[in-house]
Amino acid sequence: MMLTILKRIKRLLILLPLLAFNSHAALPIESIKLPPGFEISIFAEGVTNARSLVLGDAQTLFVSTRNEGKVYAIKHDGTKALKVITLASGLNRPNGVAFRKGALYVAEVNRILRYDNIEAQLENPPKPVVVTSQYPSDGAHGWKFIRFGPDGLLYVPIGAPCNICEPGDPYASITRINVDKPESKPEIFARGIRNTVGFDWHPQTGELWFTENGRDHLGDDVPPEELNRAPKAGLHFGYPYCHGGDITDPEFGSKRQCKEFTPPEVKFQAHSAALGMRFYTGAAFPAEYRNQIFVAQHGSWNRTKKVGYKLATVNTAVKGGKPEYKVFAEGWLNADDSVWGRPVDLLQLPDGSLLVSDDYANVIYRITYKSK
């Protein structure tokens, strides 16, 4: 009997380190390097494949997924999650979430859903209304990031259904749609965009800025990822003919010249996979961060040596020059090229702190600042 008990204790001692490693509490967030005064903590855990973030009117945090087919609702006290609710499941890559007039909008691959009066029905959500089903059903780059613009329209990207091709409209674009008109036809706002999974409007100028992921299979360092600016409708950003503003595509570049297109504002490291981006408008961070862009670089999937897996800032107010890029947070990529986290999207809370989703570690972080 005693021998059996000792064997069980020994087996438990062997398993404890493995259990600790797989616990979110064991994530090595202390290894994340931040500027002086900034701190990072886990806001919510067990949020499998956490992707896009949006707040409701009552401050409910809604979280999308890409591979899980779920949408979560998180009740919180502003500093940490109190309850994670699975709001919907079985959806077709519901990567995009937006909120307007008490309703949650969810973007599947080919349609937009609306959950009315959702914050009053979190535990028993209503059947969604189909706002539109007019989007393509292609799986490649079919997942969508959505947001309502200053004009009240819902902005919805349509990625290229390939690595590199010449698909024609409505592919490789950002569209916008009037959700108040049933089955309203999407209008193309901008073209030549291979795949964007994050955009925001400048708080002062109202101009749309967006990240864009470049094509694959041209090497480890070509072409760059992009941060683009669209001050008006009708611009073309080069895909599939030109990349990074000055790199002619070897397959399609002979058809058009790079000078015909709008060049990027910032070129990121190739394959770093810039996804979510938000202008910071809060007062909790030092003054120099106000109106800067925070960018989540999700990280490479097919590069010889991994890059990305970090947060960056872009200062768009640099006098007499191009916007300035700086690394803000890194540490999800280890020195041995192993990875324990991949940041996806960002969201500013009312107190000025910043939330960051991670679809690899299945958590949401909160970044705060304490002056010394």
**pLDDT tens readout for residues 28-46:** 999 999 999 999 999 999 9
The span from the CA of 289 to the CA of 60, in Å, is: 26
All residues at 6 or more sequence positions from 179 whose CB lies less than 8 Å from its CB, including other chains: 100, 105, 112, 114, 131, 132, 153, 154
Would you give the DSSP letter of residue 130?
E
Following CA atoms 219, 266, 326, 309 in sequence, which dihedral angle do they give, to the nearest 10 degrees?
Answer: -40
What digits encode the pLDDT tens for the residues 131-184?
999 999 999 999 999 999 999 999 999 999 999 999 999 999 999 999 998 778
Query: Residue 20 pLDDT more than 50?
Result: no
Query: What is the span of the domain harbouring residue 347?
Result: 29-43+100-369
Domain membership flag for residue 33: yes
Q: Domains in the chain: how many in total?
A: 1
Domain membership flag for residue 211: yes
Residue 166: the pLDDT is: 98
Domain membership flag for residue 305: yes
In sequence order, the β-bridge partners of residue 333 are 339
pTM attached to this predicted model: 0.92
Residue 37 contacts residue 372 (beta carbons within 8 Å):
yes
What digits encode the pLDDT tens for the residues 88-131?
999 999 999 999 999 999 999 999 999 999 999 999 999 999 99
Distances (CA, A) of 362 to 48, 92, 120, 365: 5, 19, 26, 10
Residue 25: the pLDDT is: 52
Residue 244 contacts residue 228 (beta carbons within 8 Å):
no
Domain membership flag for residue 214: yes
Would you give the DSSP letter of residue 281?
-
Mean pLDDT of 348-355: 98
The span from the CA of 338 to the CA of 28, in Å, is: 13
The fraction of the chain above a pLDDT of 90, given in percent, is: 90
Would you give the DSSP letter of residue 8?
H
Instruction: Considering only residues 9 and 233, tell me which one the structure prediction assigns the higher pLDDT.
Output: 233
Q: What is the total residue count of the chain?
A: 372
Domain membership flag for residue 85: no
Domain membership flag for residue 282: yes
Domain membership flag for residue 318: yes
SS3 category, 4: helix
What is the CATH number for 246?
2.120.10.30
Domain membership flag for residue 51: no
